[in-house]
Structure 1
Amino acid sequence: MKTSDFDYDLPKELIAQHPLDKRDGSRLMLVNKSTGEVDHKKFYNIIDYLNPGDLLVLNDTRVMPARIFGHREGKEESIEFLLLNHKGDIWECLAKPGKKAKIGSIIEFSPKLKAEVVDITDDGSRFLRFIYDGIFEEILDKLGEMPLPPYIVEKLEDNERYQTVYSREIGSAAAPTAGLHFTKELLEKIKEKGIEILFITLHVGLGTFRPVKVEDVNDHKMHSEFYIITKDVSKSINKAKDEGRRIVAVGTTTIRTLESVADEKGHVKETSGWTDIFIYPAYKFKCVDALITNFHLPQSTLIMLVSSLASREIILNAYKIAVEERYRFFSFGDAMFIY
């Protein structure tokens, strides 16, 4: 299977640069994963396609203000760092310009925050050991900016619009964007209809935006992301699977979490850890039955993932229709329900 098999033409003007005034006012494409049939609704109509007894699983991660600017000791330049993930005080970061952040360099961000570059990966990521006076998260809140994806070039007026209304667990370098369409009122209506709502956590890394640079899909190395599934959530998911109820994932991050830990019966357990699962066509889903998602970049691991839930032909046809119908694409764009 080739990376070029997942390409499509996207006019630049269809890349959404800002969120709509109303979260649930975006468009919703319905895609039948068996027949390929396509229909067009508004996102608030999703409630009509969720059935009593369904289990709706969402990712409650919260985006960090992960873009910070610093300079080498005694230098006037500005170096941009994007925090991806961490173990203790050592963070993996993207650096721009990276050539100025060499191993051993001391980077100053503020009187209360500096860091030492302790390692550089083959792909150019930097590992920084942060040294700070106070609470790191509070310092980051004051210094950091929201890490919008590179295809969004317009300024975001309200940072909360790049957070889901149910975000709780801070740690992501990017939003789980399928969840941006939900309002608290819509979630309440969904619950009143008899649909169970659960939350898992996966901290999204910017590796999700990295292009697949190899032509043979099998040669691509996936990034790792940290996840948490609690005991109560695992019990509810396992009960639903045993009762034959539908598991509906909100976002590819939720799918990555559930499928990483599911056994052959689709059961999951209370656990946390790092996943580098790579889902592409021929993958057999064990836990998830349906997916609410956004429209993804050409030749990305995410369009490969959604193509494995339906098929490559069905998804590429749906994307072709989305372009013809002038849907809005990517993080602030419209949504798709694959059922």
Structure 2
Amino acid sequence: MTLTLVLFYAFIAVVSVQIIYYLSFLFSFGLKSPETRLKKQIPISIIVCAKNEAENLKKNIPSLLNQDYSSFEIVLVNDSSFDDTLEIMEDFAANNSQVKVVDVKVSEAFWGNKKYALTLGIKASSYDTLVFTDADCTPASNQWLAHISSQFSNEKSIVLGYGAYAKKKFSLLNKLIRFETVMTALQYFSYAKMEIPYMGVGRNLAYKKEVFFNNCGFNSHMALKSGDDDLFINEVANATNTALCFSKESFTISEPKHSFKSWILQKRRHVSTAKYYKAKHKLLLGLFYLTQLSFWILGGIFIYLGVLLPWIAALIALRFLIQWICFGFTAKKLEETDLILLLPLLEISLITSQLSIFIANLISKPTHWK
């Protein structure tokens, strides 16, 4: 058997695996409609942990206070900031009885560790249902809490939401950031629908307080600088206790990074926790990325060599068709339709970025959450 045939059969296998993934994503999440029926409102504690976020707090806390919801509090956690973050928090607390402030002092044992600050915020919260977001996030509507809380039930104690990024015109970086966000959401929503949840995002995440304490909080990974959202959910989520909330009213919107360097540093920190996921999740995620990368490499080799082109073209077209259908339904649901036509360009850009992040993390580890 010649090398060309070996590579051709390998390409068939890669395309087949990619098609299986995208069909699974399409039928588990892409074609699903969000649950928009609102239920009885339960008391909620919103936890916002901030480090040097004075300006973002001034801009975004009013949208949290403006939620059309009967019973909630906002726990603002100052994680040893050295700007005006604490003063801004105390101003909100002085003028709003729904706001309480937790001031976390520098700790030698937990310096720069967001999980320690979050733990103190959770302990200070008054209610059994916790909703998490970041200081740079704003809810897409004043129905955010109502939609998130409606997904809780006797069986569902974790709710995974969607944290979008604000759109910027004429910015390829902005489109790349939003594309990566959609692809990540497509996967964690799909796997949760297939009863193998593996992560959530701290920009829009909710769970019962008992889930936190029954798991001993972040104890097993407190020494890691990241993972307060994805690694924690990887530990506690299972086939029966996890619900999704992806109605457009339930989104949060964050300000994206403005430079490629700062975005890469942010992703390096996030990616560094993936090796601590459960083995089945690492296998599923790793195989998806490996076949993505192999699709572009092997496809490029065959096009460059100019051999078996009709077969190669058919396989490439089939894979792109199914991917476009899956991504198109998802992008429409998550209000990111401007990304659909740029899918091939954004995908190869993201794969290249992820490869560089993987290599960079092998060389050195990112430190501190802010």
State the structure with more CA Rg: 2
Q: Normalization by structure 2: what TM-score? A: 0.28
Q: Normalization by structure 1: what TM-score? A: 0.30
User: As a proportion of its length, which structure holds more strand?
Assistant: 1
User: As a proportion of its length, which structure holds more helix?
Assistant: 2
